[in-house]
Structure 1
Amino acid sequence: MPALDGERILLGVGGGIAAYKSADLVRRLVAAGASVRVVMTAGAERFITATTFQALSGHPVRTTLWDPAAEAAMGHIELARWASRVLLAPASADLIARIAHGLADDLLATLCLATEAPILLAPAMNRVMWANPATQANIALLRGRGAEVLGPGVGDQACGEVGPGRMLEPGEIVTALVDRVAGDPRLTSLRGLRLLVNAGPTFEDLDPVRFLGNRSSGRMGFAIAEQAARAGAQVTLVAGPVHLPTPVGVSRIDVRSAAQMRDAVATQVAGQDVFIAAAAVADYTPAQVSGEKIKKTGSENLQLVLTRTVDILAEVAARPDRPFVVGFAAETCDLEHYACDKLTRKKLDMIAANRVGVTGQGFDCETNALSVFWCDGRAELPAASKAEVARGLLALIAERRGQGR
């Protein structure tokens, strides 16, 4: 049986040179068994014709909300109800902005408002447009509402520049759809399990103005929580102070300090099947917090007295009713040595280590790479999106847990 048999894909084609790839995308979707109907924006019509999509999909192509014949039966509502998934490819910066802000100024935007089907976007734009805070805010808004963003890819762009912003290749998009329809077979054993994940930094206050913190963005932990929830796990996420949308299907608890994170984890850990400690928790906290802003004095130096925080990971691993415990280690050197020492010393089931200070890995970026260790083995998860790395880590957890640690 074809991988997408029975799927009804409403393909929205936005304006941009990447629209030429959408013809191959339709061909591949149909070959995979999907029924495809295409809706084009006015901008898309400047790059490719509706006739091309009609020939490849076998269905008439819609281009306007003001089609008397189609709208006699409320055609935009019929299309919105027909779709099992809405795929926007390419999704230009303009299309993303209009969808994010709920505009209904053309047929495609109206369909996105009227549908209850999952929406997937394959962004395509210049690298600077992709990095623009307005675009990133729109992407975050859409993700927070449950839309899924596929890509973008990194490479040569039509403008002659190189960087992130390319639409994923049609084959990559079809593979992503197949994964979402069939589910990742490596993660099937996670369905119904209870996972507790912590993520992000902690902030340790010095006074009402200043704090001690770190550069963790929380993206890796959030990706783990999101992918586990998609696999059918019941996920609780204890999040430090980050500005990230809550993944769909995840229960979120926000904290600020190491003490608050420790209390939240201690409250939630009973009955959990897996605990994944992806947070960058402060090792030290000020012994005293000033009630007023600390002022400059005549001295050239300021001395702070710090005390150790509770080791959340070790505390969970020491419980008699402990879940499967996975730690994280961010290292600048001797990665394997320090990771394995932490694995043994804290009696963990698994540890995932990454090297910080390397381009494309670690803090505040969209990609990562992990070296994963357990008592009698290891695995390498090469550089990829944090979502893909999260799936790889969860697959290892599912496998090791199934082997009884």
Structure 2
Amino acid sequence: MSVLQGKTIVLGVCGGIAAYKAAALTSKLTQAGATVRVIMTASAVQFVAPLTFQTLSRHHVFVDTFDEKDPSVVSHINLADSADLVLIAPATANTIGKLALGLGDDMLSTTLLATTAPIWVAPAMNVHMYANPAVQQNMQTLLSRGVRFIEPGEGQLACGYVGKGRLAEPEEIMAAVERHFQGEPGRLKDQRVLVTAGGTLERIDPVRYITNDSSGKMGYAIAEEAVRMGAAVTLVSGPSALPAPNGVEMVRVQSALDMREAVLSRLDTSDLVIKAAAVADYRPAVVAEQKIKKKSDSLTLELIKNPDILQEIGTLKKHQFVIGFAAETERLDEHALDKLNRKNCDLIVGNNVSQAGAGFSGDTNVVSIYDRNGLVEALPIQSKKDVARKLLELAADRMPTIAGNSDVR
């Protein structure tokens, strides 16, 4: 049975020549068992008639906010509440801008404001429009709120230009939607997942310490997504302002030594270990019992090396599937692959933290995922939740403890 069987997908169609592809997408989604409710903007009907989508979806098509077809409900609220997924394809620069600004002046934009379902956006526009800083900023804003994007393709555009901006093909969009629903609870059922997150705090004295910029957002997103996919999750976190994700066993630690003890004591009972924490490489050799007083113009601290937790996991692992992170500022491929091999990881996630959208404290990330054969996948800028979902899907495909993958390492 199709993973789309019984799902309700609200499809927003915006005004552009790519609207004809949305008709093919509607047909594919409907044939796969989804209930497709189409909302067209006023501009979209200039390209494709609503009757086309009504025939393909076998449902009324919505254009005018005030054209209430069922007096027992308010249409845009009913559509928003019924959706398992809201998909905008094609999405114009105008609709992306309205969604980013929170505007609601037509049927589609009011529905988008009212829904709590995941929102996916498939842009289609001229190459220069797509690259415009205002459009890019609006997409960045939406990414930070958890909206997912299906990247446009490159090639000949209707306007005559050649470049990025062509709506993804219906088959590509369909495959992405199916992958989304395949990632629902059950993919990691009965798997025990251990995640580390945040930075560590290394004391100098009772009021001072050494730490780093890690916010914990990446690790917390991984823990949250793993719970959603059915796993039993333990999250070992350094100091973080983030609330504990629902459904996880939360273990709060401070120092690298604390984290090492918490992780190694749980290693044998874990199936998947994802070490997203930014552990301090060094700690003060001596921790003063009292506050160090300011007595001179300089102060020298002796630092000693912390244990390498990921290295120990790689040495001790038996059945566990291990994923590490490599935060770099240069030569990402080289450094990430070297770390993967030295520390006996199954996958490693590399990101250049100096790159826009990929820093510690932001809500987005730009990562490349590697195995022993090299690059597995390079992910464009997207929310950390989306990165987490993709990483867990890759892990589920490769883990030997999941049925059907006994020969995969």
Q: What's the TM-score, normalizing by structure 1? A: 0.68
Instruction: State the match for 2:148 in structure 1.
Output: 149
Unaligned runs of 5+ in 2: 360-364, 381-386
Farther-moved stretch of structure 1 (243-252 vs 83-92): 243-252
- CA distance in 1 between partners of 2:115 and 2:139 (Å): 23
Contact 1:65 1:71 in 2 (8 A): no
Q: Which has the larger displacement, 327-336 or 387-396?
A: 327-336
Aligned residue identity for 2:343: K
Query: What is aligned with 1:119?
Result: 118
Shift of 1:341: 3.6
1:397 is matched with which residue? 399
Contact 1:9 1:87 in 2 (8 A): yes
Match of 1:375 in 2: none
- Alignment of 1:139 with 2:134, yes or no, is no
Post-superposition CA distance 1:98-121 (Å, at most 9, x none): 5567665433344345556x3331
**C-alpha distance after superposition, 1:64-120 (max 9, x if no partner):** 22115444653344434554433233345654565567665433344345556x333
Q: Does 1:351 align with 2:333?
A: no
Q: Contact 2:314–2:343 at 8 Å: present in 1 too?
A: no
Distance, in Å, in 1 between the alignment partners of 2:44 and 2:174 is: 21
For 1:11, the equivalent position in structure 2 comes to 11
| Aligned-pair CA distance for 1:191 | 0.5
Q: Find the aligned partners of 1:257 and 1:109 in 2 and give their Cα distance.
A: 47
Map 1:266-281 → 2, pairs under 5 A: 272-281=270-279
Please give the alpha-carbon distance, in whole angstroms, between the structure 2 residues aligned to 1:18 and 1:245.
42
For 1:252 and 1:101, the matched residues in 2 are separated by 36
Q: Which residue of 1 aligns with 2:341?
A: 340
- The CA distance in 1 between the partners of 2:142 and 2:203, in whole Å, is 32
* CA distance in 1 between partners of 2:111 and 2:12 (Å): 9
Distance in 2, Cα, partners of 1:59 & 1:93: 27
Amino acid at match of 1:136: Q
Residues 269 and 31 (structure 1), Cα distance of their counterparts in 2 relative to 1, 3 Å cut? same
Secondary structure of the 1:152 match is coil
- Equivalent-residue separation in structure 1 for 2:41 and 2:256 (angstroms): 49
Secondary structure, in 3 states, of the residue corresponding to 1:180? helix
Aligned to 1:346: none
Alpha-carbon offset, residue 25 of structure 1: 1.6
Give the CA deviation at 1:366.
2.4
Report SS of the residue matched to 2:142: helix
Aligned equivalents of 1:136 and 1:41: distance in 2? Answer: 23
- Contact preservation (8 Å) 2:337, 2:370: no
| Contact in 1 for aligned 2:84/2:118 (Cα 8 Å) | no
Deviation at 1:174, TM superposition (A): 1.0
Residues 170-221 of structure 1, C-alpha deviation per residue, up to 9 Å, x if partnerless? 212211222334458xx9662032312124555768899996647x787765
Matched residues in 2 for 1:158 and 1:382: separation? 30
Is 1:11–1:87's contact at 8 Å kept on the other side of the alignment?
yes
- 1:130 positional shift: 4.9
Q: Confirm or deny: 8 A CA contact 1:381 1:392 kept in the other structure.
A: no
SS at 2:343 equivalent: helix
Q: Give the conservation status (yes or no) of the 8 Å contact 1:217–1:363.
A: no
Give the secondary-structure state (helix, strand or coil) at the position aligned to 2:119.
Answer: strand
2:306 to 304, 309, 329: 309
- Show structure 1 runs of 5+ residues with no match: 344-349, 373-377
In 1, are the aligned partners of 2:238 and 2:255 still within 8 Å (CA)? yes
Deviates more, 1:55-64 or 1:65-74: 65-74
**CA distance 1:46–1:251, shift in 2 (3 Å):** farther
Shift of 1:62: 0.7
Question: What is the aligned partner in structure 1 of residue 89 from structure 2?
Answer: 89
CA distance in 2, matches of 1:255, 1:272: 19
Q: Tell me the secondary structure at the aligned position of residue 6 of structure 1.
A: coil
Query: 2:25 is aligned with what amino acid?
Result: L
Contact 1:381 / 1:389 at 8 angstroms: preserved in 2?
no
For residues 222-246 of structure 1, the C-alpha deviation after alignment (integer angstroms, 9 at most, x for no partner) is: 6644553343113344456889998
Q: Percent identity?
A: 37
Counterpart position of 1:34: 34
The one-letter code matched in structure 1 to 2:376 is L
- 2-side partners of 1:204 and 1:93: how far apart? 47
Cα distance in 2 for partners of 1:46, 1:268 equals 60
Task: Please name the residue that 2:172 is paired with.
Answer: 172
Question: Which residue does 2:62 correspond to in 1?
Answer: 62
- Secondary structure (helix, strand or coil) at the match of 1:179 reads helix
Instruction: Number of aligned residue pairs: give it.
Output: 378
CA contact (8 A) 2:204 2:284 kept: yes
Asked if the contact 1:219–1:366 (Cα under 8 Å) also holds between the matched residues in 2, the reply is no
Residue type of the partner of 2:322? Answer: V
CA distance in 1, matches of 2:316, 2:343: 17
Tell me if structure 1 keeps the 8 A contact 2:257–2:307.
Answer: yes
SS at match of 1:190: coil
User: Which residue matches 2:320?
Assistant: 324
Cα 1:235–1:168 change in 2 (3 A) is: farther
Match of residue 190, structure 1, among 172, 188, 191: 188
Is 1:229 paired with 2:227? yes
Q: Deviations over 1:284-332 (max 9, x none)?
A: 13456997999996x9xx8653222243345667889x98361526485
Q: What is the alpha-carbon root mean square deviation over aligned residues?
A: 5.0
How many angstroms does 1:41 deviate by? 2.9
What SS does structure 1 have at the residue aligned with 2:24?
Answer: helix
d(CA) in 1 for partners of 2:199 and 2:166?
31
Task: Return closer, same or farther for 1:244/1:101 CA change in 2, 3 Å cut-off.
Answer: farther
- Displacement of 1:61 in angstroms is 1.2
